[in-house]
Structure 1
Amino acid sequence: MTHQAGPLASPHPARWRILGFLGVAQLMLILDVTVVAIALPHMETDLELGREALAWTVSAYTLAFGGLMLLGGRLTDLIGAKPVVLAGLLLFSAASLVTGLAGSGGMLIGGRIAQGVGAALLSPAALSLVVALFDGDERNKALGVWSALGGGGAALGVLIGGLLTAGPGWPWVFYVNVPIGLAIAAVLTVLLPASPRPAGRPRLDVLGAVLVTAASTSLIYGLIAAGERGWLTAFTGWLVLAAAVGYLLFVLWQRRARSPRMDVRLLVRRPVATGAFLIVMATALMIAVFFLGTFYFQHARDYGAWQTGLLFLPVALATMAGADLTGRLIARWGGRVLAVAGLVVATAGMTVPALTLDTVSVVAGVSVAAAGTGALFVVASATALGQVAPHEAGIASGIVSTFHEFGASLGAAVVSSVAAASLIGTTLDGFTRGFTVAAVAAAAGALAAAALTPGRPRSHDHAPS
């Protein structure tokens, strides 16, 4: 089992200021999942990218982010949050500069991978700080703020991406991270207290990182390739099988490793497992509709990048509203009711453009769905992290963030294949199929959430020691 280098003193006098700066840093990471969505058609033209390369522009970032997330969480537990946060910020800023300078698809995807590595260091360390700095009701409020930034930031990414792409050009969706990242790093260098040194020599589970990242890459590659090769072909089947074997080897290795990357017993706890499931659902649905929406507006309706960005403004507002309302209600109502409600709302929203495809139905439907996914972000974080012990905070936050990025990879891969013909502009049927698949997935998720999500705890202030 992992141990944290030492919890921060509580209450820390600057905890809300620290939360603000960490929230902006996390916002950058989440923005970079969706900020590229509107820029994708422009990258497609400038760099002559095919459909698979477009999908990898999203998935390369999220796979590196998610695949190395638990390594970042483990590193946080071993050497403390401050050095990991600062290293992640600096690497992410440098990689953003490289990605903006990309002149080819290979350089673009390589830069996105490097961004993902920086994000994998920063995100679990930052969330671990949030969990350590706050307790009881304050922790629930802080996690609500964190989740609202994450969910709303994903929607705002499309708006900001549209404005930057229509203005100075698509490279600026990456360049903008550089001054912001450096400024936050400078402030946190002063604001964060020094991290205590671990008693023993830190060990990192590199083999575990390789196994889980390779397995995830195989799965996502199979899902992306299914758009051309077919869902039931031997090629797709072998890649999915290889992924399953990789995940099995990862679990077996975690049971045997001297310094495991993840305590698999933590993942099988009902709250953590349910939180992981809900975060996958929320992120996959969110990425799917952004992918579909940006290509529908720009390819099928000939809207410009800035117009497309503005059309997503109601989506951003609805996501933040859903997260904020859920943060206020979760202590009273519990996670189960709100998780099911969020997925039912998402199902209703996705059904609208699946039945009637036009600009109004897409904006209205996706906005309704966004309120539901915003609720899921809060429920997922509060369910998985609300009652973890302090020494488990780093690895538990790493698990939640890992599944967040895996959901993004999954959503981009599946929807790019389901809607393949529409993404290259030959028909509108793919958009309808994409929204239909999203609606069915949300409905199935609601049934699963009703069975899996724990009810309201008898005392939400209690946390295990």
Structure 2
Amino acid sequence: MNLPRTPTAPAPPAPRPGAALAALAAAQFTVMLATSIVNVALAQIGAGVGLSDGGTTWVVNAYGLAFGALLLAGGRAADLLGRRRVLVLGLALFAVASLMAGLAASANVLIAARAIQGLGAAAIAPAALALAMDLFPPGPGRGRALGVWGAVSGAGGAGGVVLGGALTQAWGWPWIFHFVALGTALVLVAVVVLVPRTAARATGPFDLLGTVVVTVALTCLVWGLTTARGAGWTDARVLGALVGAAALFAAFAVIELRRPNALVPPRLFTTGRVAAGNLLMALLGSVWIALFFFLPLYQQQVLGSDPLVTGAGQLPLAAANMLGAAVAPRIARRIGATTALTAALFTEAAGLLWLSRISAHGSYATDVLGPTVLVGLGLSVAFVQLTALAVEGVPPQDAGLAGGLVNTTRQVGGAIGLAALATLAGSVTAHAAVHQPRLEALTAGYRTAFTVSASVLAATALLALYLARRAGPRTATTSGVHEPVPGERLVRPPHVAG
């Protein structure tokens, strides 16, 4: 006897990779936005919660400290617990912390909220990057995905200055954080709806000892560097923090070599181009973060721009960044990844060298516009190439960790670069102020910072060429996969055989 078949509900359509990538890119944009959105509003924030000029730096530092120190732990947690789950939890924590910061009536609450934001960001960034790599296996699709990633990462830094200025001038500084909280909530919904569920890719116990040691080491390093900007490099607290960081990093290396479930397994550096990618990314980060620190200061303190005009002045840089990231995969396919990387670094260096000619009596159109377009183009192409390099060849179970590592090196490189450049600029300004007007002295300090930044990027480009000469006859695309092509060379760490 034939029984009637029970109709079954059709399976829901699988989310399209493009839509999922858009949600993941929005998560990355949110993390980068929060890094710079407070920069043009620090004076208003300090007045609102009773912070001194020196104390307002901790509105920036609390976020960067927690973010940089916990990225490795966040990346490994994503591999072990499931990347989508960790991303959702990170976004939820980030949204709540942003709301708390907007409602803060005291300095302690605000700084604590910024630190919790950093904790959420440390879960979001590596998990989102690993999910994006899961969606797009090696090939042209991954190259386009990394182009999107580069565009939103650079645009987030510039967009933070734009939105920070506009929101502060229109409704006051608390709306900076309310806006981030609302945007994060929308991104959270998009991730839940559009990003497919994933299982944990790694197995085994979590390396708690290694995590604690490296987190404390990174905390000491970043805290020491940020404190050095105000207290000076010879301050006992700064020296103690830096010496403690060095000792803890040495202990971490010994621990990781002896543990089967290491937080940063040695195998990560024996496959692909992870070591070279992270080294070069740290050098790029040392200039990147400092750029978004000094540019708004020059526009506000020397040119006299208000927060809204200062923010709007970052739009050409953001547009150039998005354009460069969009064409980065095509450039790499046409001229080779190594050539694209070195050309991008030299382009950014040229823009910073141009910025080193700023004048105390200049204008945005003559002193800032042209060089920032060059900087944006070079920065975006270099970022795409280095992100691909840092995750290329990594085993699937370590993809989240690789994402955390490349974000860590960029953050730590940024902290080192900003501390050194801010100290140098301050010293030049103090010396010049003895015999020059205030605006001239400030400009001299900023010119020095831009000149040194250009030199660092030129040296980074030469280092990339050196690593390329040590590599075998291969080429790369921004997809993160390398295919043999006669006569072309690729960046590779020196210890990897050709």
Q: What TM-score results when the alignment is normalised by the length of structure 2?
A: 0.83
Moved more, 251-260 or 81-90: 251-260
Shift in alpha-carbon separation, 1:459–1:337, aligned structure 2, 3 A: closer
Q: Which one is further off, 145-154 or 215-224?
A: 215-224
What code does the residue aligned with 1:169 have? G
Residue equivalent to 2:416: 410
The structural deviation recorded for 1:23 is 0.9
Is the Cα contact below 8 Å between 1:276 and 1:400 reproduced in 2? yes
Judge conservation of contact 1:224–1:417 (CA < 8 Å) in 2: no
**Alpha-carbon offset, residue 406 of structure 1:** 2.1
Structure 1 residue 365 corresponds to structure 2 residue 383: no
Deviations 1:361-387 (A, max 9, x none): 233323322221111110111112233
- Is the contact between residue 224 and residue 416 of structure 1 (CA under 8 Å) also seen in structure 2? no
Report if aligned partners of 1:345, 1:368 keep a CA contact under 8 Å in 2. Answer: yes
Q: Is the 8 A contact 1:215 1:242 kept in 2?
A: yes
Q: What is the DSSP-based 3-state SS (H/G/I as helix, E as strand, rest coil) of the residue aligned with 1:302? A: coil
For the pair 1:379 / 2:385, whether they are aligned, the reply is: yes
Query: In the TM superposition, what is the alpha-carbon distance from 1:236 to its structure 2 partner?
Result: 4.3
Residues 241 and 150 (structure 1 numbering): CA distance in 2 closer, same or farther, change over 3 Å? same
Deviations 1:199-245 (A, max 9, x none): 96x53233333322322332333333434544456664443322222
Aligned to 2:405: 399
- Work out which of the residue numbers 448, 470, 474 in structure 2 matches 1:457: 474
2:217, 2:245 within 8 Å by CA — same for their partners in 1?
yes
1:335, 1:353 → 2: CA distance?
Answer: 27
Contact (CA 8 Å) 1:292, 1:415: kept in 2 or not? no
Q: Displacement of 1:35 after TM fit? A: 1.3
Q: Please say if residues 100 and 113 of structure 2, whose CA atoms lie closer than 8 Å, have aligned partners that are also in contact.
A: yes
Mapping 1:13-28, distance limit 5 Å = 13-28=15-30
Alignment CA distance shift 1:198-1:383 (3 Å): closer
How has the CA–CA distance of structure 1 residues 447 and 45 changed in structure 2, closer, same or farther, with 3 Å as cutoff? farther
Equivalent AA in structure 1 for residue 379 of structure 2: T
One-letter code of the match for 2:90? G
Cα deviation code 1:145-197 (max 9, x no counterpart) = 11111122211221111111111122222111222222222233233333336
What SS does structure 2 have at the residue aligned with 1:259? coil
Please give the alpha-carbon distance, in whole angstroms, between the structure 1 residues aligned to 2:305 and 2:480.
51
Match of 1:433 in 2: 448
- Identify unmatched segments of 5+ residues in structure 1: 1-10
Is 1:389 matched with 2:359? Answer: no
Q: Which amino acid aligns with 2:61?
A: S
Mapped partners of 1:150, 1:307: distance in 2:
22
TM-score normalised by structure 1 residue count: 0.88
Aligned pairs for 1:148-167 within 5 A = 148-167=151-170
2:181 aligns with one of 173, 178, 183: 178
**Aligned pair in 2 of structure 1 residues 57, 199: CA closer, same or farther (>3 Å)?**
closer
Per-residue CA shift, 1:302-326, capped at 9, x if unaligned? 2111000111111111222222222
Contact 2:287 2:418 in 1 (8 A): no
Q: 1:444 aligns with which of 459, 465, 469?
A: 459
Offset from partner CA, 1:394-447 (integer Å, 9 cap, x none): 221221122232233334333332334769978413222222221222222222
Structure 2 contact 98–177 (Cα < 8 Å) conserved: yes
**For 2:356, what is the secondary structure of its paired residue?**
helix
| Pairing partner for 1:90 from 83, 92, 103 | 92
Q: Distance in 2 between matches of 1:184 and 1:235?
A: 40
* Residues 201, 396 of structure 2: 8 Å contact kept: no
1:419 match: secondary structure:
helix
Partner of 1:145: 148
Deviation at 1:27, TM superposition (A): 0.5
Greater RCO, CA 8 A, separation 6+? 1
Q: How does 1:234-253 map to 2 (within 5 A)?
A: 236-253=238-255
Distance 1:142 1:246, change over 3 A: same
- In the aligned structure 2, how far is the partner of 1:30 from the partner of 1:126? 13
- Using the TM superposition, give the Cα deviation of residue 458 of structure 1 relative to its aligned residue in structure 2, in angstroms: 4.8
**Residue by residue, what CA displacement relative to the aligned partner does 1:107-135 show, whole Å, maximum 9, x if unpaired?**
22211110111111111111111111112
Letter in 1 for 2:167: L
Distance 1:362 1:199 in 2: 47
Amino acid at match of 2:246: A
Q: Distance in 1 between matches of 2:133 and 2:418?
A: 30
Q: Give the whole-Å Cα distance in 2 for the aligned partners of 1:459 and 1:291.
A: 33
Matches within 5 A, 1:125-274: 125-135=127-137, 136-196=139-199, 203-231=205-233, 236-267=238-269, 271-274=273-276
Report the Cα distance in structure 1 between the residues aligned to 2:314 and 2:159, rounded to whole angstroms.
8
- Partner of 2:355 in structure 1? 353
State the percentage of identical aligned residues: 35
Indicate conservation of the 8 Å contact 2:202/2:398, yes or no: no
Q: Which amino acid aligns with 1:441?
A: V
Q: In the alignment, is the contact (CA less than 8 A) between 2:15 and 2:195 conserved in 1? A: no
Give the Cα separation in 1 of the matches to 2:35 and 2:402. 22
Per mean C-alpha deviation after superposition, the further-off stretch among 249-258 and 15-24 is 249-258
SS in 1 for 2:38: helix
- 1:78, CA displacement in angstroms? 1.3
The worse-fitting range, judged by mean Cα deviation, of 164-173 and 305-314 is: 164-173
Q: C-alpha distance in 2, partners of 1:290/1:142?
A: 25
Instruction: Quote how far apart the aligned CAs of 1:268 are.
Output: 5.8
What SS does the corresponding residue of 1:248 show, helix, strand or coil?
helix
Contact in 2 for aligned 1:12/1:133 (Cα 8 Å)? no
> Offset of 1:49 from its aligned partner?
3.6
Task: Report the Cα distance in structure 2 between the residues aligned to 1:155 and 1:140, rounded to whole angstroms.
Answer: 23
CA 153–172 in structure 1, closer or farther in 2 if over 3 Å, else same: same
- How well do the aligned residues superpose, as a CA RMSD in angstroms? 2.8
Distance 2:143 2:456 in 1: 28
Match of 1:7 in 2: none
C-alpha change, 1:151 and 1:268, in structure 2 (3 Å) is: farther
CA distance in 1 between counterparts of 2:473 and 2:62 reads 38
Contact in 2 for aligned 1:418/1:430 (Cα 8 Å): yes
Q: Which amino acid aligns with 1:181?
A: T
Distance 1:296 1:455, change over 3 A: farther
